[in-house]
Amino acid sequence: MKTEMPLSKPIRHFIKQTETILDTEISLLRNPEADPNGTLVDIYTYNIEKNIIIFPAHYMGLLKDFIIAKHCVNLLIKGAAVKKSHYLVCSFTGDSVYRGIHQIYIDALKDEAKKEKKLPVQKLIQMLNILYTDFNDDINELPWNPITNASVYYRMPKIRKTQLYYLMKEGKMDMDEMMEYEDVIPRRYFVLNKAMFYARDQYLAKTLPADELMPVVNIPQMKKFNHLEVKEMLTTRWTHTSWYQSKVFGDTMLEIMEKYLQKIDWNAEPSIEYFHDIYQIGVHMTNHFISYMSMKDWFVWESPKHLQEAQEKKAEYEFKALKKIFGDLIEESSADSSGG
């Protein structure tokens, strides 16, 4: 690593440790247009010579350090997977896109049957594509998020306050996502999406520990479920709200998360073997989530290259899937405007 950027001692040490363990090089890049989560462009995913961690230009101090730490952990997990076995991600094929979109469509029909104001077909088609893509993105990111955060928390105590600020911001953004579509998307998917983030925040609140991350405290719609008695919760009044359902599903997802992550010794000496074990735990946990959400045949474990190629063919896959579901209702133009 060669940089003219000031870096705090623990971060400099961690970058160096990451480079040594993986026998690789990391570059840091400040970019005004960068994603607030930062971006890792790594040699295990892309055909490039060195790893680059990109972060927003206004992150100049500890926020920058936190982003770097997080991506170093991600890099260690990916690198260890490549060096010890294979690094795989949840990709998709034409068939798996069809299965996913078809399932969402069936669920949407069930919901639509109960609605007075029906969703226009074009909007429905758009929603099918967007939801499928969202779940693909989330399933590739969410299970790794608590792993990365717990790891940073234990390895870098000096940036815990920064981490907490960052996580509160991230948690709020994730819980706000899809809010405007609450009445549009099938209830099941709204609930599952919120439940995933709920479980992550609950896990981090327990592990870090950070009370400020509790969704039942931060999310207005969930506040009413804090300290609610079981008897009270089981009344029809509560069971009909999607937020109540998110909590119920989320509690189960939290159990899944804890079941896998309790196997990790966060303070263990970092090594290829250690991060490979973490990678495998992450894969098992992801599979359990996929299975719990009944999305088993929606995705395929494949190389990052496969996913990049699949993303290039996404419009074609979506068009074929929609054609299979809707027949002649689907014209070339509707696939173009599907917005997936």
Partner 1 sequence: MTTNEVVGLLKKGRAYASRTKYKEAIVYYEKALSLDPNNPEAWYLRAAAFVETGRNAEALNDCARAIALNQNYADAWSKKGHVLYNLERFEDAVFACTRALALNGNDASAWYIKGVCLDELGRNDEAQEAYGKSLELEIILDMEAEKKKVGK
Interface positions with partner 1 (CB under 8 A) = 4, 6-9, 30, 32, 36, 56, 58-63, 158, 161-162, 165, 169
Closest CB 210 distance from partner 1, rounded Å: 15
Burial of 120 (0-12, 13-18, 19+ CB in 10 A): exposed
Q: Nearer to partner 1 by C-beta: 9 or 117?
A: 9
Q: Nearer to partner 1 by C-beta: 16 or 161?
A: 161
Closest CB 242 distance from partner 1, rounded Å: 25
Do 53 and 30 touch, CB atoms closer than 8 A?
no
Q: Nearer to partner 1 by C-beta: 111 or 177?
A: 177
Closest CB 247 distance from partner 1, rounded Å: 27
Closest CB 183 distance from partner 1, rounded Å: 23
Q: Nearer to partner 1 by C-beta: 118 or 158?
A: 158
Q: Nearer to partner 1 by C-beta: 32 or 327?
A: 32
Closest CB 121 distance from partner 1, rounded Å: 32
Closest CB 9 distance from partner 1, rounded Å: 5
Nearest in space to 261 (alpha carbons), one of 213, 209, 210, 204: 204
- Four-point Cα dihedral 42, 44, 46, 52, nearest 10: 10
Closest CB 235 distance from partner 1, rounded Å: 38
- Amino acid identity of residue 23, one-letter, is D
Q: Nearer to partner 1 by C-beta: 169 or 259?
A: 169
Q: Nearer to partner 1 by C-beta: 32 or 120?
A: 32
